Chains A and B, each alone.
Chain A
Amino acid sequence: MVKVEFLGPIDRDMIEIEASTLLDVSNYLKKDQDISKWLDKCAVAINDTMINDLNTTLKDGDKVSILPPVCGG
C-alpha cells in the first residue's frame, strides 16, 4: 500500500491505495471526479522529493504528495 496525500486547497484526506508505479496512482485518481479535475495542474512528490517520471516505481509505505498550483509571497 502507498499513501496519497493532497496538499493545499485540495479538500481531501490522505488515502491508501495499491500501486507499484506512479502510473497506477494516476489511473486510480483519474477515476475520482473531484480529484481528476486537479491533475492537469498538479505536480507530484514521492517521500518529499519532486518527481518527473510517471514510470517511477513505488514500494510499500511510500508517500505520494499531490501539489496544486502555488503562490507564495
Chain B
Amino acid sequence: MAEAMPQTRSLRASTIHDGPLPRTLCDSATLANPNHGAIATFLGVVRNRHHERGVTRLDYHCYRPMAEALLARLIAESAERFDPALSALVVHGIGLMHPGDIALCIHVACPHRAAAFDACRHLLERIKADLPVWKREYYDDGTSAWLTGS
C-alpha cells in the first residue's frame, strides 16, 4: 500500500503589526513543510546611521487598510509569477522603533531555492516601491526628517 502523502497546503499570510516585530515572528521555520525545499527570508532592521547621521529612533506610519490589502495582493502576484505552490509570510511593523529593531520580515517557501530567493526579492522591491508606509527618522542632534523613497 502506497504511503500517504503528507497533507500540506500553501500558507499565505500578511499583516501590519503595531511596534517592532517579535523575534518569534522572524523564525522562518514556521513555514517549513515537506513540499517546500527552500525558505528565503529577508529581515529589515532599523539602522543606527543614515547618511553619516546618528539615528536614535524611527516612527513608521501607514495607510493601514491599503497596506494590508496590498501585502496580500503582492503575495498572490508573487505566487503567480514565481511558483503557484509558494507559501509566504510578510509582516511590516509600524510605530516607534529603535536601532536593532526588526521592522519588516518576509519569509517565502517554495519547492526550489531559485523561486524562493526571487519571490522574496520581488516582494521586498514591491514593498519598497508601493506599500503605503512612511518613516520619520529622529537624529542624535535633535532633528528629524520624513524619508522619501526607499
Tell me whether A and B are bound partners: no
Q: Which residues of A contact B (CB under 8 A)?
A: none
Chain B interface (Cβ within 8 Å of chain A)?
Answer: none
